[in-house]
Structure 1
Amino acid sequence: MANNNQQNQQPNASQTNAKKVRQQNAASAQNQSQQTEFASETDAQEVRQQNQQSKQKKSQNNQQQQ
């Protein structure tokens, strides 16, 4: 019987450690919220403008090389 008690107390490799999973989920959620916060700080209009300027410069460079 002592053997059975020891087996019940030791976690099996297939058992999930719920506390560890909760900690991992919390860390993941915190990381995602930081990424979302970064994205919300991005000025989309400014990025579009910079992309347009970059395309124009690239086009001008291509024309000069020809």
Structure 2
Amino acid sequence: MAKQNKTSAGTNVQNVRQQNAQSAQGSQGQFGTEFGSETDVQSVRKANQKAESNKQKNS
């Protein structure tokens, strides 16, 4: 029989709850900081400008 704090698959319920709580605390702005340093702002602006001009050309 499974222990009280573990599911039948062997997952530690307390550990999962703790991870979920930590995840919920840091969820706002998490992706902005995680990917922000890897983003080349100039290339994004250039791509947006190109897409905008193509959009205007096609309409």
Which structure is higher in helix share? 1
TM-score (norm 2): 0.47
Q: Pick the structure with greater CA Rg.
A: 1
Higher relative contact order (CA closer than 8 Å, sequence separation 6+): 2
